[in-house]
Every structure is written in structure tokens, then in C-alpha cells.
Structure 1
Amino acid sequence: MTAAILPGAPRPTVGGRATPRALCVLAPNPSAMTLDGTNTWILAEPDSKLAVVIDPGPFDEDHLRNVIATAESLGKRIALTLLTHGHPDHADGAARFAELTRTSVRALDPALRLGSEGLVAGDVITTGGLELRVVPTPGHTADSLTFHLPADQAVLTGDTVLGRGTTVVAHPEGRLGDYLDSLRRLQTLTMSSSVDTVLPGHGPVLTDARGAVEFYLAHRAHRLAQVETAVEEGYTAPAEVVAQVYADVDRALWPAAELSVRAQLEYLREHGLI
């Protein structure tokens, strides 16, 4: 991730009510990579007693119990747990959370599932009248998913689109070609007027979904061109490319930037550009 601010992006307080059906409980794991912390999302129809939780977050007993208590304070019982992807800051608490709530855990990666059902592209999940549509968005990781919440014209993007800054294409599992395809898939949703809000896995809510996705696409194209230029100038080792291309980024993020550079170099080689 980098610390760039999305142009025109609002900066509301992270956590709390975001849409009529979505409420964020912020995990206490802030860092350079997780921004303010992991956003755990509680979703429910206003008149329903059943709720869905997306990304319980890290294995933090107090946080997991706080999510349950928050749902209960709204008169909701958590009936299902979903994962956007398997990174520890999103998924490490899932097994314990499932134990506490007696729910199943659905994810794309079979290793993360608890229960008989997984998740695949095109699935429509209905719980307590709430409808979520599963959108495949690989690239950050191979198992990354986005959940489309049509009633609120929102998408829950995990780490595919963040509320602040840009995300890592986590090579070797993450692939830049896949990530660009995923961004274009989200762009299509925003252009069809079915999505105007991004509920990210980290950072504040974005109310200009189309602008955010277009910024991400432009940013990736710009970085890719910078990497290509660096290679043409003789900087071929990933660490050398990072020093040239990510000089504007906090050095604490350079190890993560190197993962993205490796994915960018792989993409350029696959397309015969270097």
C-alpha cells in the first residue's frame, strides 16, 4: 500500500454506520500496511434480525466479541461469516469468530472455509432478506473477492480498493494482469450506475466509486510505465526498481512495494515489453 490520497476522496471517520445496511467495526490493528486497522463489516436489512459479517479480522478476542456485541446492540444475530481473502489481518479471527457465533465461514479458498459451502463467481447470497452478489476480483491475492450490495449501491472490496492509498499486488500469488482485469470489472459496475460507494477493507468509505476505480487504473498504468522506464535505464533487480520508482513512498513500505514491482516485471515480460 502507499499513502497517496485519492483525488476528491472524502475522509469520514473510520468505523460506524456507512450505509443503511452496512456498519463498520474497526479492528485494533493499525499499521503502515493496515492503515487505521481492518474494517470488519456487519451487514443486515434494517428490519431483519439476521446479520452477515465480512472479514472478522485478526485473532483478537476483544475485537471479535465487540463485533458480536455491536450486532446484538442493533437487535441482530450474526448468521453467516464471509471472507474477502485469506490474509491474516482479515481472516485469522474467522475460526474463533465462527465458534463464538456458531456460524459457517464461506470463502473462495477451501482452506479457509468452515462448513460445506464455498464461494464462487456469480453466487448470490441471501440472509435475512439481505442480498450480496459475489464478484471475483483476483490480483491482490488469487482468492480475492468483492461483495456487491445492490440495495445500497455499494461494493465491499477487501484489499482490492482501499479507502486511502493503493494496494499491493502480492507477488507471486498476486498477478498484475488479474488485478487490472478486476479493476475493469469493478469499473463496469460503477459505470452501470449500480455502484457508487466503496466499503473497503481498510480506510474510510469512498462515495465516488467510479472515481476511485479510475484513479486506481491510472495509478497502475503510471507505475507500470515508470517500471518499464527504469528497466530501460538499466535497473533490472526488483530492489533497484523500487528505489527508482517508489522514491516518493515511505521506506517502511518498500518491502511491500517490491512485491508489486515483481508483479509488474512479470507482467511486462509476459507481454514482451521488456
Structure 2
Amino acid sequence: MVGHVTAPAAVLLDTLPTWATLVRAANPGPMTLDGTNTWLLRAPGTPRSVVVDPGPQLEEHLAAIIENGPIEAILVTHGHEDHTQAVPRLAEITGAPVLDFDGEETLGGLTVRAIDTPGHTRDSVSYVINDEAVLVGDTILGRGTTVVAFPDGDLAAYLSSMETLIGLGPMPVLPGHGPALADCAAAATYYREHRRARLEQVRAAVAGGAVEAMDVVRIVYADVDEVLWPAAALTVEAQLAYLRDHP
């Protein structure tokens, strides 16, 4: 039986890269873990940084980001509000542009390569920095597993993104929530196998007579805190859509 995962999917990273600063928002919760991770990236000796996921619009959080300025540009990993709410205000205060690009850019004195990693959301993007670490937003979390919430979440796309991230090898992961991980390939492999095992549980629940998503949740996610069942139901909807397309 596949249980609810609360531990990290890979070994924790001992030390952040010298070019990465973590500013964590004070918005902890069941879906945000310790809070949203805002990452400030700047090569040593470079005057300006790039901000990834400015997070919620909390004045203390904005002040902490600006303290680490000046800011060259703003990036986001996906459109969820806990990652983007502060974007307009931060752009207004700093004058920094919000960038959306394919391929590579030089920002904060670093090579930033954008790669599409949809699944958690349609617009999810990861950023590989100097081929030394990858920022993944909510595609991989520092603890537990992420939500693939139908209809914006797409499980087939998510599994494909896991293959993309496995291809990065043992690269450190800087996630959108929770602690940094030491090995992207290990974390993505764990996520892929966990999703496959959950799919088999959902398939069995449907074969056993479960009809509605919440019927499946009561069977497959019985070990999950009921406060998370609505999110689990959206994940089940994504699983059911996947099974319809991949019988």
C-alpha cells in the first residue's frame, strides 16, 4: 500500500550555492509547508540579483527581498498566487522587468536556462542555473509530494516532466516550498514511481466500484489528513483523466 509522503524525496542539500539566497515568506500552511521560497540569485561580485517567485504580498517579505537588492529582473516558476502575488508591487518598487523567455539568458551574472516542466500547472517552468542547480517551483517540493490538481494540473505532462528532470542528473534542487534537495534525478525518480503506484491504487478503487473522485479519496487517501482531501480530490480527477486516456 502506498502511503502519504511527508518526508523529503531525496537527501537534503547541505549548503546552498554561493549565488543563491533564500528568503522564505511567512505564509506557512498545509499546502505551502514552511512558506513560499523566494530565491535571489546573484553571482559573487555581481551588482544586481534576479528574483525567482516573489511570493505573497506581505510587507515584511517584500522588505526582505528589497534588502537583498538591487534587482535586475523577476522570474516566476508558475502562476499560483502564493508565488506571484507580490510580483506587481515588487516590479513597481524596483523597476525590475518580469521576464518570460525560452532558452538561456544571462541574469545576475549567471546563465539561466528555462525549461518547460508542466504538470503541476500548465505554465510550470524550471530554471537551471549555471548547470549547477535547478529551481523547480512546486514541481518538486522539499518535503512530501506536490499536487497535480485537475484541470490545470495534467498527470501525463507531469510524468513527462519527471523524465526531463531525471535527465538533469544529480543536480541540487531549489524548490518552491521546503528545504533544498541534493539530487534532482533521485527526487524526480521517487516522484515518478510514487505517481505510478498511486495510479494503480486509483485503478483498483475504480474497479472496486468507486465512481466519484471523493469515493476514490476515501479509499486511496485514507491516511491523509481530511483537511487535504479537497486537494486530493482534484489530484484524483487528474488521475482519472490520465486513466481514461491511458487505459
TM-score, length of structure 2 as denominator length: 0.95
Residue matched to 1:212: 187
- Considering only aligned residues, what root-mean-square deviation do their CA atoms show, in Å? 1.5
* Structure 2 Cα separation of the partners of residues 29 and 18 of structure 1: 22
> 1:84 is aligned with what amino acid?
T
Q: CA deviation at 1:11?
A: 7.9
> 1:31 is aligned with what amino acid?
G
Residue matched to 1:264: 239
Deviations 1:32-90 (A, max 9, x none): 00000000000010121111000000111221111111x14xxxx21100000110000
SS of 1:25's partner is: strand
> 1:260 is aligned with what amino acid?
T
User: 8 Å contact 2:48–2:108 — kept in the other structure?
Assistant: yes
Q: 2:219 aligns with which of 234, 244, 251?
A: 244
> 2:111 is aligned with what amino acid?
E
| Residue 126, structure 1, aligned to residue 106, structure 2 | yes
Deviations 1:198-227 (A, max 9, x none): 000000000122211111011101101100
Residue matched to 1:112: none
Distance 1:128-1:67 versus aligned 2 partners, 3 A rule:
closer
Q: CA deviation at 1:100?
A: 1.2
Residue matched to 1:5: 7
Q: How does 1:131-210 map to 2 (within 5 A)?
A: 131-151=111-131, 153-190=132-169, 195-210=170-185
Structure 1 gap ranges (5+): 107-117
Residue matched to 1:115: none
| Residue 91, structure 1, aligned to residue 84, structure 2 | yes
Residue matched to 1:56: 54
User: 8 Å contact 2:119–2:148 — kept in the other structure?
Assistant: yes
SS of 2:149's partner is: coil
SS of 2:243's partner is: helix
Give identity over the alignment, percent.
48
Deviations 1:152-184 (A, max 9, x none): x21100000000000011210111000000111
| Residue 18, structure 1, aligned to residue 11, structure 2 | no
* Structure 2 Cα separation of the partners of residues 161 and 147 of structure 1: 13
* Structure 2 Cα separation of the partners of residues 47 and 104 of structure 1: 22
| Residue 81, structure 1, aligned to residue 61, structure 2 | no
Structure 2 gap ranges (5+): none
User: 8 Å contact 1:29–1:36 — kept in the other structure?
Assistant: yes
User: 8 Å contact 1:155–1:198 — kept in the other structure?
Assistant: yes
* Structure 2 Cα separation of the partners of residues 150 and 181 of structure 1: 23
* Structure 2 Cα separation of the partners of residues 8 and 85 of structure 1: 23
Distance 1:98-1:186 versus aligned 2 partners, 3 A rule:
same
Q: CA deviation at 1:189?
A: 1.3
Deviations 1:112-137 (A, max 9, x none): xxxxxx323xx212124211100100
Q: CA deviation at 1:7?
A: 5.2
Distance 1:146-1:7 versus aligned 2 partners, 3 A rule:
closer
User: 8 Å contact 1:6–1:215 — kept in the other structure?
Assistant: no
SS of 1:155's partner is: strand
TM-score, length of structure 1 as denominator length: 0.86
Q: CA deviation at 1:3?
A: 4.8
